Structures are given as structure tokens and as C-alpha cells.
Amino acid sequence: MNVAAVRPAVIAKTPADQRVVPNLRDAERRSFSWPAMRAELDGLPGGGINIAWETVERHARGARRERVALRWLGRTGGRRDITYAELSRASNRFANALRGLGIGKGDRVFVLSERVPELYFTALGTLKNGSVLSPLFSAFGPEPIRTRLTLGDAKVLVTTEGLYRKKVASIAAGVPTLQHVVLIGTGQGTGAIEGTLGFDALLAGAGEEFEIERTVEEDPALLHFTSGTTGTPKGALHVHGAALMHYMTGKYALDLHAEDVFWCTADPGWVTGTSYGIIAPLLHGVTSIIDEADFDAQRWYEILATQAVSVWYTAPTAIRMLMKAGVELARARRYPALRFIASVGEPLNPEAVWWGQEAFGMPIHDNWWQTETGGIMIANTPDMDIKPGSMGRPLPGVQACIVHRDAAGGIAVVDESNVEGELALKAGWPSMFRGYLHQEERYRKCFLGDLYLTGDLAKRDRDGYYWFVGRADDVIKSAGHLIGPFEVESALMEHPAVAEAGVIGKPDPVSGETVKAFVSLHAGHEPSEELKLTLLGFARKRLGAAVAPKEIDFLATLPRTRSGKIMRRLLKARELGLPEGDTSTLEASA
């Protein structure tokens, strides 16, 4: 008998599951108001709001000044604790350096770096200066870097000497707006490479006091590029007022309490690594773990255990890799401090939610958002019973609905439960993007009336839980059925041999499209015709003949974005022999 078949549909929470009282309970949901939440932030002395004030200065000037803000773990060992007071001084220095270079409000400062402390000083100093921060993932190649710097009118690029030599030197001259390149890791000397500045030298010559630029809610703060899962990445602009959303979601979706040690595993090159790898934990004055190294199952368990991580925010791709490494590895250690695990970025298969229970004695809490939303919108929070496979319920202050588009270009809100449609959000939450860079028309098209249309398909059940169906682009139309790849992938993943699955629609003259699955296997399982037949049968039993895949191929790994999302459009293009399109965010090994 398959174990999954007897699992209950709901993981009920009991008070014993909640070692600290959750920040969000029914009472807070009922009484929520944005003005009340805003009152928990300071605002700049004299008016306005600046993310760097709320994240750093207010703690550096208060009781938390000697608390560790960032605990940095070096790739090859070693650790550096940076207190709120230190973070304030270092980011002030960087802000002064920018000002000294003539870089001001609204100017774009890009950072391309591994996760080293200087990256965080740059980010916060840039915000203090009122300049716009755009973090790029350090694994990008020269061309994706050039495109983004050019699109974003970069004036300053902060990078490391190694990355500069490998990736930037060849393209820097092709970015017309670029005025300064600042290199981390060149020590006190300047001019390690002609035409560049040294980060340390620049900061050594800059003062420790800085008066934050008087920014207001609508002033631009961040420029994030989307993951490129469905096409060419878009540049989404965010404002300083977004801090309110980061604060609210840090409090309610991640349940941050003052004494927490928090670890967000995302790189700041993706929106999660900035909103939750930098901003939200600092807003709450907690200690945030930064690991310089890349994914490694053994290392990650060690960090969770030895750093006493209490709240952990990660992604389905990482969880699937941990699952691949075997639950025994997780269980070889103990995690007495750990009390809450959340995940974002892709649908979290029920199998992964349950695995959390097996590995850590607690389920993994899925939540949903996008680069465009700037912060978590729909979430499983600590007080909620979990329905594995559901992304949870809208957070307070967030209004979601399911809509259908009609042929005339209008939309109708679907009132019934369990009906699939496009997920839409009532526009106006604080961290809503304020534009796609240089794509005004595309931005406008995301809104209809007072709704923002997400491009994701979902349904809502009777209890108000939302269920992800698929991206509008990925949904398969087969013999009159609409099939979401997530459902098919999750069913395949219930089979013990399957580590990952990616499902596409393949054009078919009879049914419109047929369902084709690509799977990678757990260690110890080999591709074979026999296993293929077993999996086809397994899926048919769970999903029915209309929805189950007709074809299965084995792949060693599935093509993924560097932020860890399965790129179904690439599976499809490869299957059909079509051009691959923009692959700037494709993970190198795929």
C-alpha cells in the first residue's frame, strides 16, 4: 500500500505545535488595519519613510544596537557577526561614498556579488542615499549582466574583483550610463584594475555619520528582475513604502519574534533574497543568517542545528534536493530551536510538506507571491491548519479573488469555490510594483479596474484556502479539459522513485494537447522501460486517464532557472524542436 494514500488532507495544528504564540491569530486578522501596522514603523524623523531607517537606524539608535543583525558564514569556514550598530556605520560609509561620487536620489546602483557582508552594506547604503538598488545574481554570465545594466541605466556597479575580471570587464564599456565600478576585496589600495575603485579604500575615506535622504512612500527604492521562467525577465520597480509590507509579512507570514534567528536561503539577486534575505528580518530586529556557500545538504543541516535557526524560509527546489539526499541525513541532527519553516517560489508538492514533518517534526508552510507583489500575499501561517498542496490564505490587508476573462477583454469575479481561474489581487498593497522598466504598456495590461492580474491560475476552496493550478502559460488544454501541470507533477512525486517532475502539453491533432511528463529519479533508481510503464500506471490510477501523462521521459535534471524554478517552456521548446528563447536565467548545469 502506498503511504501517501492514507495521509489526511489536513495537518491540524495544536497549541503544542506553537512554541511561541503566533503573531497572527483570528483576533489580529479581524482587527487588521494598514494604519495600525504603519504605526509600528518609525517613519523618518521629520516625515517620509526610508527602508534603511526602518531596517537599521532605528535599531542602531535603540536598545537593539548591540544585537547581531547579520551572522555571516564563510564559504570555507569562519563567521562574522555584524551588529545593528556596525551595520549602521558601514552602510553610512557606503552612502557617504556614493554621495561623494555624485550619485544621488533615484540613480541606479547595481550590485553583483557573492553573499559577502559588503553586498549588504552596499544595499543599505544605497537605500540611505535615496538611490535605487538593483541586485544581480552573481552566477549570471556577461550578456545577462550587460542587458540588465543597460536596461536599468546603471550608474554604479559594485562587484568583486573576480567577477569583474570574469564577467564585467568585457561588457562594461558597452553600458553607456555606467560611471563607476567599485570592486570588493581589493583591500585598501585603489586602482587594482584600471578605471575601477576599491570598495575598502572608498569606505575608508568616507564618514561614519550620514543623514538619510528624505524619501517618501512613493520614491523608488528597488529594481528587481523577474526569474525569466516564462520569457524575457522584466524589471519590476518598487518603492520605499514597500517596507510596510515587508514588516507586516515578516510579522504575520514568517512569524518573526524579537529573539528569532532567521535564515532565508534565497540569494539577494532574486526578490526573495532582498525582501526576506535583507529587509524583513532587519525590520524586526532579529538575527539573520547569511551563508556565503551554495546549496549543500550536509552544510544546511549543520547551519540549522549549530546556528540555532528558529525560523527558516526556503524554496521547493531546495527542499526537493534535501529530499533527494534522504531523510536520514536530516534526522542525523537535532534542531531544538527550529519552530517554523516556510517556502516560496514554486508550488510546494504535498509530498514536500509531509517530508518536513518526517525530517523536522513540522510541516513546511507554503506561501505565494511574485517579484511584482514585492512581498508575501498568500500564506500558510503558524496558526493555520495546513492542507498540503494549498498555498494558504490571503494575509490580512490582502484581497485576492479568482477571475475569468471574457472574449471582450473584460473580467468577471468567480464567487463559487473550487472553480479554476486567474488569481487576481485588489491593487494598492504597499509593496505593489510601480512599473515594468521601459514597458509601460505591459504594466498597464496587468491591471483591470481595481484588480492586478497575476498570470497564475488557481482556485479557492470553501475554507478560503487557495490552490495553485499552474501559470496561465503552462496550463494544458487536452480533450476539453484544462490541466494544471502542478497536479500531475505532485502525483508523480508521490512515487518513491521520482525526485522531480515537469509536465507540459504536447500538440496533438485529436485532443489538442497531450500531457507529457519529464522526471528525474532519486538516487538508487535507474531509468527503464519498466519503470516508465509503472509510472504511467501509477499516475493514471491517481489522476484518471484524462489527466494522467501519456508519455514520460527521464532526465538527469530538469531545466531550472537560477532561482530554482522548473522551466516548462524550455522542456516544451526542446520537445518540439522550437527556439529556446531567453535563457539568461537558466541554471548552467541544465
Binding stretches for ligand ATP (CB under 6 A): 226-231, 233-234, 344-348, 366-368, 370-371, 391, 454, 456, 468, 471, 563, 565
Least distance in angstroms from the C-beta of 230 to Mg ion? 6
Helix (H) or strand (E) holding 324: helix 316-325
- Considering the complex, state which of residue 253 and residue 414 has its C-beta at the smaller distance from ligand ATP: 253
- Considering the complex, state which of residue 164 and residue 368 has its C-beta at the smaller distance from Mg ion: 368
Least distance in angstroms from the C-beta of 489 to ligand ATP? 11
When CB distances are held under 5 to 8 angstroms depending on the partner's kind, the choice from ligand ATP, Mg ion, none that residue 456 binds is ligand ATP
Contact 161, 183 (CB under 8 A): yes
Torsion on CA atoms 54, 57, 63, 67, rounded to nearest 10: 90
- Considering the complex, state which of residue 233 and residue 363 has its C-beta at the smaller distance from ligand ATP: 233
When CB distances are held under 5 to 8 angstroms depending on the partner's kind, the choice from Mg ion, ligand ATP, none that residue 571 binds is none
Angle between helices 350-360 and 485-493 (to 10 degrees): 40
When CB distances are held under 5 to 8 angstroms depending on the partner's kind, the choice from ligand ATP, Mg ion, none that residue 497 binds is none
Least distance in angstroms from the C-beta of 276 to Mg ion? 18
- For residue 345, with 0-12 CB atoms within 10 Å meaning exposed, 13-18 middle and 19 or more buried, which class applies? buried
- Considering the complex, state which of residue 374 and residue 382 has its C-beta at the smaller distance from Mg ion: 374
Least distance in angstroms from the C-beta of 44 to ligand ATP? 29
Among 228, 222, 200, which residue's Cα sits nearest to residue 90? Answer: 200
When CB distances are held under 5 to 8 angstroms depending on the partner's kind, the choice from ligand ATP, Mg ion, none that residue 153 binds is none
Least distance in angstroms from the C-beta of 565 to ligand ATP? 5
Integer-rounded Cα radius of gyration of the chain: 24
DSSP 372-436: GG-S--EE--TTS-B-TTEEEEEPTT--EEEEEE-TTS-EEEE-STT--EEEEEES--TT---EE
Q: Which three cell numbers stand for residue 99?
A: 554621495
Least distance in angstroms from the C-beta of 181 to ligand ATP? 27
CA distance 543 to 438: 43
When CB distances are held under 5 to 8 angstroms depending on the partner's kind, the choice from Mg ion, ligand ATP, none that residue 366 binds is ligand ATP
Instruction: Indicate the pairing of strand 180-184 with strand 154-160.
Output: parallel
- Considering the complex, state which of residue 271 and residue 403 has its C-beta at the smaller distance from Mg ion: 271
When CB distances are held under 5 to 8 angstroms depending on the partner's kind, the choice from ligand ATP, Mg ion, none that residue 478 binds is none
Binding mask 223-252 for Mg ion (x = CB under 5 A): ---x--------------------------
When CB distances are held under 5 to 8 angstroms depending on the partner's kind, the choice from Mg ion, ligand ATP, none that residue 345 binds is ligand ATP
- For residue 522, with 0-12 CB atoms within 10 Å meaning exposed, 13-18 middle and 19 or more buried, which class applies? middle
CA distance 515 to 497: 20
The 3-class SS string of 208-265 reads CCCCCCCCCCCCEEEEEECCCCCCCCCEEEEEHHHHHHHHHHHHHCCCCCCCCEEEEC
Least distance in angstroms from the C-beta of 391 to ligand ATP? 4
Least distance in angstroms from the C-beta of 140 to ligand ATP? 14
Specify the stretch interacting with Mg ion by CB under 5 A; choose among 10-18, 221-229, 276-284, 298-306.
Answer: 221-229
Interface with Mg ion (CB under 5 A): 226
